[in-house]
Structure 1
Amino acid sequence: MRAGFIGLGAMGIPMARNLAKNRFLSTVWNRTQSVADTLAKELRVASAQQLKDLAEKTEIIFICVSKDEDVLAVIDSLHPYFSKQHIIIDCSTTSSETARKVACIVRSKGGDFLDSPVSGGVEGACQGTLAFMVGGNANALNTVYPLLNAMGNSITHMGEVGTGQATKAVNQVMAAGINEAVTEALAFGQAQGLDMSKVIEVITQGAASNWFLKHRGNTMMKEIFNHGFKLKLHQKDLQICKEIGEQLGINLPLTETAFTHYQTLIDQGFGEEDISALFRLKSRLS
């Protein structure tokens, strides 16, 4: 199976590297051509000048871009070149509605589509330990399973197209709540004059331990926010979650709080920082 990878950002580059390491990757494409050219040279694969070239050289196409409109733009460019040999796997975070729309477009040409958002952060992408939540045809998933396994250690079939993105929405709501809780708690501890390295060490051994505290606690204390998942992208995801909540008539107060706090930080110029930059706001408030 020849795989192509579209979208070489913070997540896409290490994911593509793991595909190449396992000899699945043949072609890459990125909106900024120089990024694709540099990675292609490193991995000894082709750098497509146009999406048409990538579609013609591959059967499996991964997409990992920022927004729904970016996914739709890529699909629109690829659409004339889809065939029954293609399986498109979208690892971006979008709405379920967008996933279903893309599936219809791909399937109209005889191919298949999986919405397969991921969790695990840049660290998981680099280490090949991502969690994939997959919506779509089980047979298509079985076909591409070895490729997903090259990038992750948890691959779960959630159901029909759109259920992968719906599951990711649950993940993003939970991540927002954890971010709120951890940053508030650490600001609370800091305000009491505690040795925060010891606080983090002991709490990560107990019932309140979590991935975010383990991986971001000490960097927050050092005011390092230049890694991981961009705050503005999490806010984009929370907007999707809010819209789902409105459709279902469900209140999501934690999501609303995080969304508002993120907007404050974005307005102050911190949107490109990791979501742990929420500590900036919480430490100020304490």
Structure 2
Amino acid sequence: MSQNLAAFAGLGSMGRPMAANIQAKGLLAAVWNRSPGPAEAFSQAHGLPRADDPAHLARQANILVLCVSADEDVLAVVDAMLPVLGRDHVVVDCSTVRPETARRIAQMLSEVGAGFLDAPVSGGTEGAEQGSLSMMIGGRCEDLARARPILEAMAGRLVHMGPAGSGQATKAVNQVAVAGVNQAVADAMALAKSQGLDLDQVIQALSGGAADSWFLQKRAPNMRDGVYPLGFRLSLHDKDLAICQSLTEAMGVRLPIIEMTRLHYRRLIEAGHGDEDVSSLFRLKLEQLEEGEQRGGDDAEQQQ
């Protein structure tokens, strides 16, 4: 096993550029992906070994970075690695899962002496490609110190939030905020279009003012163009909001922004838009305004 190197599991739209940034720093030893095609392509492109399975991957390096889709996937990968893990290892999970899942994994790993960091990220595929992600981290300070050079290759901002589970709790907060900003920008852009405004000029007018945001600058152009290239997959945000929903329901409350956004997302997923960027919410907003305008016209005709 190579010390002070990373091995990476999960080469999707986020994981692939994150792993590439680690490799660019000369810190990546091997990769693995559940479906072998992406791992084979990455291996050939970067001249790196492709592990046969998670246990094989864990033998290649001491910092093991995971970026997979759901709680069950993370648990399955960790469980497969567990027999070969020990005090030399730190597992870093960059997936988005429930805080209790992170705490469960931390306990599993502590029993074999391995460290754990829950380190979900924000910044979309652009941030993953540029190495400028924001990373919210839960876990022990000593494990963070050991993994820091690897994390700094992927992220422009590292914030240690507290013990295991704190990173995932912070990511839940982030996902609620993203839902709210997506709703606001999509509503605003749909209203602008309904008023016959030039959407490019609207973006310019709002940028730098009180309504400015990363989302306005990065995602409103998608709405303007009616094209939704993947930054953050809508179906995955819906999965993350289900986690947020479970957290609030456990406290006996519901947050309207979560409930409304999941309702809207389900309509878009059913219409075949689940693999588009979350900014495709604009499709639904525009439909709603057009339907409202049509109903208003029909009501006016009936009153005449």
TM-score range, shorter chain: over 0.9
In the alignment, what sits opposite 1:149? 152
- 1:57-86 CA-to-partner distances (Å, cap 9, x unmatched) read 110000000111111111111111111111
Q: 1-side partners of 2:43 and 2:153: how far apart?
A: 18
Q: What's the offset of the Cα at 1:205?
A: 2.0
Q: What's the offset of the Cα at 1:269?
A: 1.1
In the alignment, what sits opposite 1:39? 42
Alignment partner of 1:208 is 2:211: yes
> Which amino acid letter does the alignment assign opposite residue 95 of structure 2?
S
In the alignment, what sits opposite 1:159? 162
Alignment partner of 1:131 is 2:134: yes
- 1:94-113 CA-to-partner distances (Å, cap 9, x unmatched) read 00010011111111111010
Which secondary structure state, in structure 2, belongs to the residue aligned with residue 2 of structure 1? strand
Q: Is the 2:207–2:217 Cα contact (8 Å) retained in structure 1?
A: yes
Which secondary structure state, in structure 2, belongs to the residue aligned with residue 31 of structure 1? coil
In the alignment, what sits opposite 2:62? 59
In the alignment, what sits opposite 1:9? 12
For residue 76 of structure 1, the aligned residue among 63, 74, 79 is: 79
Q: 2-side partners of 1:218 and 1:2: how far apart?
A: 39
Which secondary structure state, in structure 2, belongs to the residue aligned with residue 41 of structure 1? helix
Q: How many residues align?
A: 286
Q: 1-side partners of 2:265 and 2:53: how far apart?
A: 36
> Which amino acid letter does the alignment assign opposite residue 198 of structure 1?
Q
Structure 2: gaps spanning 5 or more residues: 290-304
In the alignment, what sits opposite 2:109? 106
Q: What's the offset of the Cα at 1:119?
A: 0.5
- 1:121-143 CA-to-partner distances (Å, cap 9, x unmatched) read 10000001001100000111011
For residue 89 of structure 2, the aligned residue among 68, 78, 86 is: 86
Q: 2-side partners of 1:60 and 1:216: how far apart?
A: 34
TM-score (norm 2): 0.93
Q: Is the 2:55–2:82 Cα contact (8 Å) retained in structure 1?
A: no
Q: What's the offset of the Cα at 1:218?
A: 1.3
Which secondary structure state, in structure 2, belongs to the residue aligned with residue 188 of structure 1? helix
Q: 2-side partners of 1:47 and 1:204: how far apart?
A: 44
In the alignment, what sits opposite 1:191? 194
Q: 2-side partners of 1:107 and 1:23: how far apart?
A: 28
Alignment partner of 1:176 is 2:169: no
Larger of the two Rg values belongs to structure: 2
Alignment partner of 1:118 is 2:114: no
What do you get for the CA RMSD once the two structures are aligned? 0.8
Q: What's the offset of the Cα at 1:251?
A: 2.7
In the alignment, what sits opposite 1:270? 273
In the alignment, what sits opposite 1:96? 99
> Which amino acid letter does the alignment assign opposite residue 36 of structure 2?
Q
Q: What's the offset of the Cα at 1:267?
A: 1.0
